[in-house]
């Protein structure tokens, strides 16, 4: 038996100052939603799902309610979930009209013989599973509309360069926007899980699928090593199979933190893409690193909550010291 650990992220990108507090509150609430399940003896997979549902329900983040818009002003969401105890995984791509893609991903994992369903097939499967249909307009936040107005008249590359610029590149921050969310956890039985969910990148071409639903890119979980959830420029993450690269490095003897730094820096060196990761090892050690300006993240370990958005911005307090009580 080990002490459960859970970590979440709300995306690695150029978070404007006026969104910092909302990001911090959002990741704190989400990590506690997952930790509550772990404290009750629940599984890592249940905790990861609960944490991501909390993030998808928060319009501050680019997932579920708050998803950004494609070049033609539509919503197309991706997500994945993975159980490290048996390497089972489920994911969906280009789905719409549902509030919580992470729940649909878990249904793919548990109710089908497949790993990834996309587009019309994924939406049809949601209907077969009785997933409630919601209006697409209900998923679109004011932030997403503002961001679409900003970038739809330029191009997708402009959105990428602005939101995922490297931390030491000085340029004015945008006033709106957001990115992928994710969670990793290890439960008392030593089982590891990960999950990631996103609305993608503003002004993306319709039908574009990033790293999020791709096993080994947007996330990976294996009881033999640990769990990873990634965030940032999806095309770059895909090229280096970022999540699997981190578990490979951990398998070679690097700590969760060492593997996080090495893999994310390698991605920038090899393909010029910025991003971030959260990692939990099979023993409950934490890793977290990003090359963008900021990354909202929070974790709970030994009943202490840690959270922040800047690279050296970490606040901690006891679980009982937060306004978000575990009841």
Residues acting as catalytic residues: 180
Binding residue ranges for substrate: 208-211, 231-234
E strand or H helix at 213: none
| Sequence-separated (6 or more) residues with CB below 8 Å from residue 86 | none
The closest alpha carbon to 141, from 174, 170, 112, 176, belongs to 176
User: Exposed, middle or buried, 198 (CB in 10 Å: 0-12/13-18/19+)?
Assistant: buried
> What whole-number distance in Å separates Cα of residue 232 and Cα of residue 241?
13
Could you tell me which residues come within 8 angstroms of residue 138 by beta carbon, excluding any fewer than 6 positions away? 65, 99
3-class DSSP assignment, residue 271: helix
- Angstrom distance (rounded) from CA 211 to CA 218: 5
First to last CA, the chain: 23
Annotated binding residues: 208-211, 231-234
How many residues does the structure list for the chain? 327
Question: What phi and psi values does residue 116 have, to the nearest 5 degrees?
Answer: -130, 125
Three-state SS sequence of 105-154: HHHHHHHCCCCEEEHHHHHHHHHHCCCCCCCHHHHCCHHHHHHHHHHCCC
Cα of 121 vs its chain's centroid, Å: 23
* Those residues with Cβ within 8 angstroms of residue 154's Cβ, 6 or more apart along the chain or in another chain: 203
**CA 82/CA 203 separation, integer angstroms:** 28
Strands 88-95 and 116-118 turn out to be parallel
Give Cβ neighbours of residue 117 (< 8 Å, ≥ 6 apart).
91, 92, 93, 108, 125
């Amino acid at each position: 038996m080990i002490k459960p650990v859970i970590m979440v992220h709300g995306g690695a990108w150029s978070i404007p100052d006026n969104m910092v507090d909302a990001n911090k509150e959002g990741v704190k609430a989400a990590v506690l939603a997952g930790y509550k399940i772990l404290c009750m003896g629940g599984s890592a997979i249940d905790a990861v799902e609960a944490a991501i549902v909390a993030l998808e329900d928060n319009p501050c983040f680019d997932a579920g309610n708050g998803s950004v818009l494609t070049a033609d002003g539509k919503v197309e969401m991706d997500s994945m979930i993975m159980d490290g105890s048996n390497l089972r995984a489920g994911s969906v791509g280009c789905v719409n009209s549902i509030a919580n893609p992470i729940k649909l991903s878990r249904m793919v994992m548990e109710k089908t013989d497949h790993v990834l369903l996309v587009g019309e097939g994924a939406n049809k499967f949601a209907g077969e599973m009785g997933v409630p249909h919601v209006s697409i307009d209900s998923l679109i936040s004011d932030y997403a509309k503002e961001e679409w107005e900003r970038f739809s008249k330029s191009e997708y590359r402009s959105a990428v360069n602005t939101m995922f610029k490297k931390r030491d590149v000085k340029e004015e921050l945008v006033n709106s926007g957001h990115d992928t969310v994710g969670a990793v956890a290890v439960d008392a039985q030593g089982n590891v899980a990960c999950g990631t969910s996103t609305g993608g990148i503003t002004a993306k071409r319709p039908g574009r699928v990033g790293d999020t639903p791709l096993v080994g890119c947007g996330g990976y979980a294996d009881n033999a090593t640990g769990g990873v959830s990634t965030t940032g420029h999806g095309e770059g993450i895909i090229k280096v199979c970022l999540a699997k690269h981190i578990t490979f490095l951990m398998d070679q003897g690097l700590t969760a933190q060492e593997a996080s730094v090495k893999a994310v820096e390698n991605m920038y060196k090899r393909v010029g893409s910025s991003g971030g990761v959260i990692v939990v090892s099979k023993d409950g050690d934490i890793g977290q690193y990003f090359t963008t300006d900021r990354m909202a993240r929070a974790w709970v370990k030994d009943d202490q909550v840690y959270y922040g958005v800047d690279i050296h911005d970490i606040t901690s307090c006891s679980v009982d010291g937060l306004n978000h009580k575990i009841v």
